[in-house]
């Protein structure tokens, strides 16, 4: 990975790692679907402003590209954003951030299934198994006292799965079509925002309670975590590929756990700590390049 890509990866990790804190605070005044709605609309506004400032970017015209963008918006934004927000009503932000770290495992599994990656070594297979064990340890489905938490954690895992699918999908159908990262990000986030605006009268009618902290969190979540972050994300996919780009989640648990403990006083339990170590070790092993590549 180039130095520029490493800087983008670290910046993206800081932005997305803090997103779990922003989601948790936003839920004090908004429902999960409202969080996603405001997040997407704010992100789209920021991206359109960036496009206007640059002046040289043009949105795609081919209907087929727009069809792929709709699918990407659902897989990478609408569905996982809602699942994480819904899940964080039931689990700590640190747990959500750690479970999000399983994304590269799902990315690799799908890449192997679709033959985007043609083979897997014993070490990488062991990494997938180790990461899975870590995720199960975090969820702790055997603990009857954590039934609600297990449901929320399951939603977070489903969101990570959706992210993994989106990385492979975007790399296959959207990257490499002579469209800039900011163009792709603007189109994708805007389509997702339009879908939610159309659905809002039916699904986002809950009472809103805006406080300064809720407002600041949702604006940061939209402007940084959805707007600027997706420019960096598409650039990483374009420069380094889907699997390498998805390793941004290496650092997300560290950021999420630290912020959750400091800002929200969330406990760092033994299963969260050991599960996080196993997930990160599994990702490290499963992401090792094949010899000769």
Residue 7: is its pLDDT beyond 70? yes
DSSP string, 115-164: TSS----HHHHHHHHHHHHHHHHHH-TT-GGGHHHHHHHHHHHHHHHHHH
Please state the pTM of the whole predicted model: 0.81
Q: What's the CA gap between 276 and 255, in Å, rounded?
A: 12
pLDDT, residue 292, reads 45
Q: What is the DSSP letter of 250?
A: G
| Average pLDDT for the chain | 82
Contact between 127 and 67 under an 8 Å Cβ cutoff? The reply is no
Mean pLDDT of 111-135: 74
Q: Residue 234's pLDDT band (boundaries 50, 70, 90)?
A: confident
As a whole number of angstroms, the distance between CA 120 and CA 122 comes to 7
Report CA torsion sign: 206, 22, 98, 7: positive
Residue-level pLDDT at 251: 73
User: What band does 57 get if pLDDT is binned at 50, 70 and 90?
Assistant: low
The per-residue pLDDT for range 186-210, each reduced to its tens digit, is: 889 999 999 999 999 998 888 889 8
Q: What is the DSSP letter of 287?
A: T
More confident residue, 174 or 108: 174
Q: What is the mean pLDDT of residues 15-33?
A: 91
User: What would the mean pLDDT of 130-158 be, rounded to a whole number?
Assistant: 74
Closest CA to 79 of 27, 25, 40: 40
Whole-number Å distance between alpha carbons of 139 and 35: 24
SS3 265: coil
DSSP E strand stretches across the chain = none
Q: Spell 18-52 as b/e; 16+ CB within 10 A means b.
A: bbbbbbbbbbebbbbbbbbbbbbbbbbbbbeebbe
State the average pLDDT over residues 166-184. 81
* 50 in Cβ contact with 252 (< 8 Å): no
Q: What is the mean pLDDT of residues 37-59?
A: 83
Question: Residues of the chain with pLDDT > 70: what percent?
Answer: 87
Distances (CA, A) of 258 to 147, 186, 253, 262: 25, 31, 8, 6
Among 72-76, 128-132, 202-206, name the most confident range: 72-76
DSSP assignment, residue 84? H
């Amino acid at each position: 990975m180039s130095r520029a890509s490493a800087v983008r990866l670290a910046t993206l990790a800081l932005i997305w790692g803090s997103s779990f804190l922003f989601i948790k605070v936003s839920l004090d005044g908004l429902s999960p679907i409202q969080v996603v709605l405001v997040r997407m609309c704010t992100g789209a506004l920021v991206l359109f402003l960036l496009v206007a400032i640059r002046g040289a970017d043009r949105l795609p015209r081919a209907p087929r590209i727009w069809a792929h963008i709709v699918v990407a918006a659902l897989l990478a934004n609408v569905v996982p954003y809602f699942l994480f927000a819904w899940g964080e009503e039931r689990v700590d932000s640190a747990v959500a951030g750690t479970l999000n770290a399983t994304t590269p495992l799902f990315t690799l599994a799908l890449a192997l299934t679709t033959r985007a990656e043609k083979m897997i070594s014993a070490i990488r297979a062991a990494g997938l198994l180790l990461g899975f064990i870590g995720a199960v340890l975090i969820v702790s489905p055997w603990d009857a006292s954590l039934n609600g938490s297990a449901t929320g954690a399951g939603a977070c895992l489903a969101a990570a799965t959706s992210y993994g699918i989106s990385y492979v999908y975007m790399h296959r159908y959207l990257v490499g079509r002579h469209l800039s990262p900011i163009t792709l990000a603007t189109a994708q986030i805007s389509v997702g925002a339009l879908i939610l605006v159309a659905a809002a009268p039916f699904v986002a009618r809950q009472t809103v309670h805006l406080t300064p902290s809720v407002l600041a969190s949702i604006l940061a979540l939209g402007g940084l975590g959805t707007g600027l972050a997706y420019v960096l994300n598409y650039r990483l996919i374009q420069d380094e590929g889907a699997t390498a780009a998805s390793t941004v989640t290496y650092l997300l648990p560290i950021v999420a756990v630290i912020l959750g403990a400091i800002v929200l006083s969330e406990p760092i339990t033994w299963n969260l700590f050991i599960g996080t170590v196993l997930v990160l070790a599994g990702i490290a092993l499963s992401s090792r390049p094949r010899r000769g590549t």
